[in-house]
Structure 1
Amino acid sequence: MAHDSLYAAPTSGPDTERESGRLAGLRGALGTWDAAIVAVLVAVLLASLSVQNFATGRNVQFLLLDLVPLALLALPMTLIVITGEIDLSVASTVGLSSTLMGQMWLSSGLSRELICVLVVLIGAVLGAVNGLFVTGFGLPSLAVTIGTLALYRGLSFVVLGDQAVADFPANWTAAAVQAIPGTSIPAAVVPVLLLALVFGVVLHATPVGRALYAMGNNDEAATFAGVSVARTKFWLFVVSGAVGGLVGIFWTLRYASARGDNATGLELTVVTAVLLGGVSIFGGRGGLLGVVAGVLLLGVLRNALQLADVDANALTIVTGTLLILSVVLPNAVADIRARLHRRRRRRTQLSAS
C-alpha cells in the first residue's frame, strides 16, 4: 500500500486551517520545551553549587553515558505513548538482548559485527510480539507489556542463569565509553543525537507524525481519515524492540558484562522521562523536545543524588514520585483551566443578558 494512503491527512477544511493546526502543535511543543528546559537549568545550577564534583569533566562524561540508554529508549516510547499505548517491556528487552549477546559471544563463533546485527533483529522480534498482541488481538498494551516484561526478564535468566559474561574485546568495551577527542563528551552521544533528530522530524514534520497524534486523540477518527492504525502501532513496537536490542549492546559493552539483571527497573525511568517531558499518558499530546529535556532533568537529578551518597532506594522513591506528579499535575492544571473557562463564559453570558 502506498505511503500516502497509510498516512493521509484529513482532506476536509481549507489549507489555512491545517496550517494553523500545525502552528498550534508547534507552539504546544515549544511550550513544553520551555518549561522543561527551565527545570533542567535550575537542576544543573543547584547541583553545581551544592553537590561536590558535579561539574567536573569526569562526572559530565559519566552523566552523559548514563543518559544514552535512557534517551534511546525514550525516543520510540514517546511515539508509542502519543498514540495512546505504552511499552513497559523495554528494560526486559535490554536485559534479554544483553544475555543473548553474551551467549552468542561465548558459544556461537560468529563475528562480533554479526552478533550485534542479530541482537538488534532479535530485539525487533521481541517488539513484534508486543505489537502482534496489541494490534492483532486487540489487547491493552499495558497488560501485554507487563506480561512480556516478566517473560523477557525470565528468559534472560534462562539464557545465562546467574552467571555473567565479561570476556568481551577490550577495544569494543573501550569504544562504548570513549570520549570525543579533546572533550568530556562520550562519542556514543553522537548517534543518540542523530536518532533524536530523525524521530523529531518524523513526529513533527511528516504525515506519519500527524497520524500518530490523530491516533492518540481518536483511533476511529484516525482510521476514517485514512490512517492504518493497527499497522502503524505494530511497527512502533517493532522499532521500540529494535532500539531495546541496540541499548542491550551498549549496556553490555559499557559495563563489560552480559547479565540477566541488566537494566532492571529502567522502564519506569523511561516512562517518567517521557511524561516529565509533557507527553500525555492518555495520548495525543506532547513533543520530542520536551522529552529530551525530561531525560536531561531526570538524569541530572539522579546523578546529583548519587554524588550526594543518597541511597538507591531513595532514588527509586524520587523516580516514583516524579512519575506520579507527571501524571497528576497536568490533569489538575487542565481541570483548573476548564473550570476557569466555564466561569468566564458564565460571567460573559450574565453580563450580556
Structure 2
Amino acid sequence: MEPRVLANKKEFTFKSFFLQWEWLLVVLILAVSVMNASLSEYFLEYDNLRDATMGFLDKAFIVLPMVFIILMGDIDISVASIVTLSSVIMADLFNHGLPMGWAMVAGLAVGTICGWINGMLVVRFKELSSVIVTLATMIIYRGIAYILLKDQASGKFPDWFQYLGWEYIGGIPFILIAFAVCAIGFGWLLHKTVFGRRVYAIGNNATASRYSGVQVDKIKVLVFTLAGLMSAVTAMFLTSRMGSTRPNIASGYELEVIAMVVLGGISTAGGKGRMIGAILAVFLIGFLRYGLGLVNVSAQMLLIILGLLLILSVAIPQLKQRFASMRRI
C-alpha cells in the first residue's frame, strides 16, 4: 500500500496562474487605456496620468482596510461620514486657534474613535448586521458635522498644508507615495501575518474560528478602528486638495470604495480575495473616470459603466463555477 501524501499548496500551472481575477483587471485597465487614448490625445501624456492620481487616490486609503472588513463578511458604510467629521473637526479646531499640526492629530484621533465605536457596536450587538450598525453611525457622524458647521465652509489653512494634496517628491505626487507605502503595509499585514490569516478564517467561518481560539471580537474591533483611522487620513488629503471643508464633502465615497473592493475580487460572502485585486480596481476606476472626464462624459454615464463592471465582477466567478461543475458531470 502506497503512503498518502498531503499537500497544503496547489501545484503551479500557467493556466491557473493566468486565469486569476487580477489578470482580468489588468486586461480591463489596458482596454480602458486604449479606449481613453483613442478618445483623447492627452490621456497618455505622462504629466496628465501622474497628476490624475491626485484626483482619486484620497479615497483609495479607505479601500485598504475595507478589504479586511469585507473579507470578514462585514461592511462599513459610515466611512464617508467619518471623513467628513474628521475634516470638519480639524478645520473647526484650527479656526479656533489650535495649531494646524495638532488639529490634524485631533482629526486622526476622531476618525480612529469613530471606527472603534463602529467595531464595538458590531461585536456587542451581534443580532444586528454591520450594515444596520454603520448605517446608523453614518447618519450620526454626518449629523454632528452639520451641527458644527451647519451649511458653511471652513478653510483658510496654512500654505504648507497644501503639500499633502498637491506637492511632489522627486516628480512623484506625495499622495501616490503615501498610498504606495500604506498599500504595501496593509498587503503585508493581510498576506504575511497571523492576523491576516485569522481575518480570512473569520470570513470563512466566524463560529469555527471562535471555537478554535481566534479572538474574533477583538480582531473585528481592530479592523473597524483601522477603517476609521484611514478614513481620517483620507480627510487630510481631501481637505488639503480642496483647500476648505463642508459637511457634505465625500458624499458617495462609501459606495465607490465598496465598488472598488468588490471589483477587485473580494468576495462579499467573506474569506476570499487579495489586496492586489482591490489596488488594481482603484486604478481601473480612477483612470476610467479621468479618461472619460477628458471628453466630458457625464457622471451619470460613469455610474452606469461602474454598475456594469460590478455586475461583471459578480457574474464571471459564478459562471466559472457553473462551467466547472458542468464539466465534472
TM over 0.5: yes
Structure 1 residues 38 and 321: alpha-carbon distance in aligned structure 2, compared to 1, 3 A threshold? closer
Aligned residue for 2:9, secondary structure, equals helix
Deviation sequence 1:68-119 (CA, Å, 0-9, x none) = 2232110000011111111111111111111111111111x22211111111
Paired residues of 2:91 and 2:103 also in contact (CA < 8 A): no
**Cα pair 1:120 1:242 within 8 Å, conserved:** yes
- How many angstroms does 1:310 deviate by? 1.2
Distance 1:82 1:244 in 2: 18
Structure 2 stretches lacking a partner, 5+ long: none
CA contact (8 A) 2:164 2:236 kept: no
- Corresponding residue number in structure 2 for 1:194: 181
Provide the TM-score with structure 1 as the length reference.
0.85
Q: Distance in 2 between matches of 1:29 and 1:129?
A: 41
Alpha carbons of structure 1 residues 146 and 208: separation in structure 2 relative to 1, 3 Å: same
Identity score, percent: 33
Are 2:119 and 1:131 equivalent residues in the alignment?
yes
Partner of 2:231: 244
The amino acid of 1:309's aligned partner reads N
Distance 1:23 1:229, change over 3 A: farther
Contact 1:277 1:293 in 2 (8 A): yes
Give the aligned partner of residue 119 of structure 1: 107
- Aligned: 1:320 with 2:307: yes
**Residues 164 and 258 in structure 1, CA contact (< 8 A), matched pair in contact too:** yes
CA distance in 2 between counterparts of 1:247 and 1:37 reads: 26
- Name the counterpart of 2:220: 233
Q: Say if 1:166 and 1:332 are closer, same or farther in 2 by CA, change over 3 A.
A: same
Structure 2 CA distance, aligned partners of 1:15 and 1:143? 47
Distance in 2 (alpha carbons) for counterparts of 1:221 and 1:265: 35
Say if 1:308 and 1:93 are closer, same or farther in 2 by CA, change over 3 A.
same
Q: Structure 1 residues 121, 21: closer, same or farther in 2, change over 3 A?
A: farther
Of 200-209 and 323-332, deviating more is 323-332
1:84 lines up with 2:79 in the alignment: no
How far is the alpha carbon of 1:28 from its aligned partner? 7.7
Query: 1: CA distance between counterparts of 2:149 and 2:38?
Result: 44
Give the match for residue 198 of structure 2. Answer: 211
TM-aligned CA distance change 1:320 to 1:152, over 3 Å = farther
TM-score in terms of structure 2 length? 0.91
Question: CA separation in 1, counterparts of 2:294 and 2:265?
Answer: 27
Match status 1:256 vs 2:265: no
Shift of 1:237: 0.3
Q: CA deviation at 1:15?
A: 11
SS state at 1:20 partner: coil
Could you list the runs of 5+ residues in structure 1 that have no partner in the other structure? 1-13, 344-353
CA drift of 1:261 comes to 1.2
Q: Which residue pairs with 1:286 in the alignment?
A: 273
Counterpart selection for 2:57 from 40, 50, 68: 68
In the alignment, the residues of structure 2 paired with residue 253 and residue 30 of structure 1 have an alpha-carbon distance, to the nearest angstrom, of 41
Structure 1 ranges of 4+ moved more than 3 A:
14-17, 21-24, 27-30
Q: In the alignment, is the contact (CA less than 8 A) between 2:77 and 2:134 conserved in 1?
A: yes
1:148 equivalent in alignment to 2:145: no
